[in-house]
Structure 1
Amino acid sequence: MVDALIRVTARWGVDETVAAEFAATAATFASDVICTANGRHVNGKDAMSVMSLRARRDTPVRILVAGPDERDALHALSAILSASKCGALQYMQPRPQCTPAIAER
């Protein structure tokens, strides 16, 4: 069993994009993943549970991993929460310019 205390560095905290990426990555490992933040303990392989942590920027999140590939899992999951651009890409993408279609009469 290994664990780490990771401070969320994403501008928007653990939003739906980060939670989905975290859960999808956790699901690729055989190890069990438990996340703790704000007094809540959740299954790290479930995106809705990870979102329910309500982890904002600078919130410490403890990741507890137990299983045959625990070290690899902890390394991959820690990288997701501590990535400086984590989850922010969807907000930083410029919106496409919409040109209204003018109907010919």
Structure 2
Amino acid sequence: MLMKNLIVQLPRGLQARHTALFVCKVVAFKSEVILSKDGKTASGKDIMKIMDLVVREGDEITLLVDGCDKQMAMETLKKYLSNLT
């Protein structure tokens, strides 16, 4: 399992549009993805649970990825949340 703490750099954070794009990226991988913020967790494939985390620009989150393609998934999602793509 890979775990990374990171600061979300997306403008307005994970609001509806960014969350939908995030979920699209997650479902492209076989690995399980978990987002965690302030003690609450959400599956990376569950748009409503991610929205419930209320992730804003500048918030620190923990990204957990486990599975056969975890390295590629972690890099892709980390770049997306850091607004590098």
TM over 0.5: yes
**Alignment correspondent of 1:19:** 19
**Alignment correspondent of 2:38:** 38
Radius of gyration: which is bigger?
Answer: 1
Distance (Å, rounded) in 1 between the aligned partners of 2:18 and 2:80:
7
Greater strand fraction, Structure 1 or Structure 2: 2
Q: Of the two structures, which has the highest relative contact order with CA contacts closer than 8 Å and spacing of 6 or more?
A: 2
Q: Give the number of equivalent residue pairs.
A: 85
TM-score (normalizing by structure 2): 0.91
Question: After alignment, is 10-19 or 66-75 more displaced?
Answer: 10-19
Gaps of 5+ in 2: none
Identity level (%): 29
1:8 touches 1:56 (CA, 8 Å); kept in 2? yes
**Alignment correspondent of 2:72:** 72
TM-score (normalizing by structure 1): 0.75
3-state SS, counterpart of residue 50 of structure 2: helix
**Alignment correspondent of 2:28:** 28
CA-based RMSD: 1.4
- Give every structure 1 segment of 4 or more consecutive aligned residues whose post-TM-superposition deviation is greater than 2 Å: none
Distance (Å, rounded) in 2 between the aligned partners of 1:21 and 1:80:
9
